[in-house]
């Protein structure tokens, strides 16, 4: 199976603590990496946990609260100082572009690599990124500033031809193409072979959803329906539900409700308030609603299966 995983670099909220750094995750798929949010100290977390990022060409910033992007200029600077030459693509709210340009100008930094900025506002109904194997799509969340979630999903593939069939009947290139398109096969002896008997089902499509800072918003369940692994913020426990609603965040139980409504296979909760030093309480509250819930742990890698 093709590797598809997420490494958590930071799982805290606006105020960092000794046990929780600001938000950041590194998603790896095939030969590509996507950095999702880049809170203060992200590159230090990469060093701490020996997380390699040589294939990191895409950075997704969910919104412009500092705990989600204050580490970006430092990472860009390090890429420059170490002689990076490959293009870096940034996907973020449009206002960030002017800030990055100002920081680079102020420090008289002429980057050694192309930096391409993509404003999230320009992708309301389009994929941010797409290749032969997967796509990345943004969707709006409900927060105190424009905020986006991200869905990274594999593309559906064609059925696979059984190797024993190829060895026995030696189909031509055109016949193979026809079979992959779903057609059946007629042998030289006039035997009709149904497509389903000479092919295998393709692997199930896998997906990962990142729901950054957001109030409880049931409508996103349709966008992330059937997701294999869902990350959803769980800033507060139930005792602080009024604070969650006031600041447009979610409780652990509300994150679990989104997982249940969307039909997710597994839920990761994070973005914990500095008020909490007992994450087990948050986990227990989520599990009462959605059993297959896990607490984010910094430095841990989670498989999308």
Please give the DSSP secondary-structure letter assigned to residue 212: -
Q: Report the pLDDT averaged over residues 244-260.
A: 98
**Is 67 an annotated catalytic residue?**
yes
pLDDT tens-digit series, residues 75-96: 999 999 999 999 999 999 999 9
Yes or no: say if 62 and 37 are a contact pair by the CB < 8 Å rule.
Answer: yes
Yes or no: say if 86 and 53 are a contact pair by the CB < 8 Å rule.
Answer: no
pLDDT tens-digit series, residues 144-177: 999 999 999 999 988 888 899 999 999 999 989 9
pLDDT number for residue 45: 97
Q: Report the pLDDT averaged over residues 258-272.
A: 98
CA 197/CA 176 separation, integer angstroms: 14
Q: Report the pLDDT averaged over residues 47-61.
A: 96
CA 92 to chain CA mean position, Å = 14
> What CATH architecture applies to the domain 4-156+208-303?
4-Layer Sandwich (3.60)
pLDDT number for residue 181: 87
Provide the 3-class DSSP secondary structure of residue 140. strand
pLDDT: is 238 or 203 the higher one?
238
User: pLDDT category, 129, cuts 50, 70, 90?
Assistant: very high
User: pLDDT category, 300, cuts 50, 70, 90?
Assistant: very high
Please give the DSSP secondary-structure letter assigned to residue 12: B
CA 138 to chain CA mean position, Å = 10
- Neighbour count for residue 110 (Cβ, 10 Å): 7
Which residues does residue 269 pair with via DSSP β-bridges, in sequence order?
A: 232, 295
Q: Where are the alpha helices (DSSP H) in the chain?
A: 42-48, 72-81, 95-106, 163-169, 173-180, 195-198, 220-223, 241-246, 252-262, 279-287
CA 32 to chain CA mean position, Å = 12
CA 104/CA 108 separation, integer angstroms: 6
Yes or no: say if 255 and 286 are a contact pair by the CB < 8 Å rule.
Answer: yes
pLDDT number for residue 262: 98
User: pLDDT category, 299, cuts 50, 70, 90?
Assistant: very high
CA 147/CA 273 separation, integer angstroms: 18
pLDDT number for residue 124: 75
CA 87/CA 89 separation, integer angstroms: 6
Catalytic residue among 67, 122, 181, 213: 67
- Neighbour count for residue 139 (Cβ, 10 Å): 18
Residue with tokens 């986006």: 148
Domain edges within the chain: 4-156+208-303, 160-200
Residue 35 CA: distances (Å) to CA of 1, 6, 32, 46: 22, 10, 10, 11
Tokens of 86: 């490959």
Nearest one of 45, 41, 7, 4 to 26, comparing CA atoms: 7
pLDDT number for residue 203: 86
Provide the 3-class DSSP secondary structure of residue 302. strand
User: pLDDT category, 46, cuts 50, 70, 90?
Assistant: very high
Tokens of 127: 């994929």
Query: Angle 47-272-225 (CA atoms, 0-180°, nearest 5)?
Result: 95
CA 35/CA 293 separation, integer angstroms: 23
Residue 24 has pLDDT above 80, yes or no: yes
CA 34/CA 240 separation, integer angstroms: 33
User: pLDDT category, 26, cuts 50, 70, 90?
Assistant: very high
């Amino acid at each position: 199976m093709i590797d598809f995983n997420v490494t958590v670099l930071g799982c805290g909220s606006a105020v960092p603590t000794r046990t929780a750094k600001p938000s950041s995750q590194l998603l790896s798929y095939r030969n590509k990496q996507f950095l999702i949010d880049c809170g203060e100290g992200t590159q230090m977390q990469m060093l701490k946990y020996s997380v390699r990022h040589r294939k990191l060409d895409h950075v997704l910033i969910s919104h412009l609260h500092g705990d989600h992007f204050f580490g970006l200029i430092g990472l860009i600077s390090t890429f420059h100082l170490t002689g990076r030459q490959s293009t870096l693509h940034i996907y973020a709210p449009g206002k960030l572009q002017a800030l990055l340009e100002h920081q680079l100008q102020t420090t008289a930094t002429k980057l050694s690599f192309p930096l391409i900025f993509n404003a999230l506002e320009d992708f309301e109904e389009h994929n941010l990124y797409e290749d032969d194997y997967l796509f990345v799509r943004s969707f709006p969340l409900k927060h105190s500033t424009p905020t986006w979630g991200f869905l990274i999903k594999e593309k559906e593939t064609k059925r696979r031809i059984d190797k024993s069939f190829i060895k026995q009947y030696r189909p031509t290139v055109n016949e193979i193409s026809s079979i992959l398109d779903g057609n059946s096969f007629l042998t030289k002896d006039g035997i009709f072979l149904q497509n389903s008997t000479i092919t295998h089902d393709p692997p199930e499509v896998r997906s990962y959803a990142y729901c950054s800072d957001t109030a409880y918003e049931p409508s996103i369940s349709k966008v992330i329906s059937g997701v294999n692994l869902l990350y959803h913020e769980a800033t507060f426990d139930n005792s602080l539900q009024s604070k969650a609603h006031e600041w447009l965040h979610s409780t652990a139980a509300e994150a679990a409700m989104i997982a249940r409504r969307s039909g997710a296979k597994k839920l990761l909760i994070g973005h914990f308030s500095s008020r909490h030093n007992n994450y087990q309480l948050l986990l227990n509250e989520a599990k009462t609603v959605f059993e297959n819930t896990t607490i984010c742990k910094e430095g841990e890698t989670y498989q999308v299966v």
